[in-house]
Amino acid sequence: MSKQKNIPTVKSRNTPPKSESAGFPPVVAQIVLTIVASVLILLIIKLPRNQEYWWARVSKYYDEIPQQRKNMNEEQRMQSRHGGNYMIPGIIAKNIKPEDIFLLPPKAYVEKNEKNPNNWSNPYVFYYMNSEVKTCAFANDSLRAKATKALVYDNKGGIQLVELKNDSIRNQIINMYQAK
């Protein structure tokens, strides 16, 4: 008698993978998962804290949309919905050349100078509201030297775009942004 060696079996590459859904066909498993996920979402929405958010923000928005579509154009709806987060990046975009790089002011500077602080100076919000303007976040030290425009608040509560022509002006703006 000759001893036979245990030779490992090799699976063919053409064998379809086995379904991991406990014997259910894949379509049934997908339907079951969809139903379970939907029920979980509805249960989460039914929690009291989420109910407040739903009625104050989401539902209110959907109730207002039909009326706004009748009476406002898209620009007016965006201004109504987003306020300064939409308007300030729009003003900047209209007054900046394509080759300019805009230095976003830090959040503390915006909060100190606006009566109703918005979140427009956040790089993500600014880009979402106006992706056409090249920007440099204030925190990015290496790009600050390349910035060509910056925003400052005047004594009357208005805003001005300042051209950063040289290092002296740039340093004044940076110091103004950092002042507490």
Q: What is each CA distance from 86 to 20, 91, 105, 122, 136, in whole angstroms?
A: 48, 9, 16, 12, 18
What pLDDT score does 23 carry?
67
**Together in a domain, 49 and 102:** no
The answer, as to whether pTM is greater than 0.75, is no
What pLDDT score does 3 carry?
60
Query: What average pLDDT does the chain have?
Result: 82
Of the residues 5, 40, 71, which one is the last residue of a structural domain?
Answer: 71
**Together in a domain, 64 and 92:** no
* Pairing mode of beta strands 149-153, 159-163: antiparallel
Is the pLDDT at 16 greater than 60, yes or no?
A: no
User: What is the count of structural domains for the chain?
Assistant: 2
pLDDT in tens, 47-79: 888 888 888 777 877 888 888 888 889 888 888
> Which domain covers residue 51, as residue numbers?
27-71
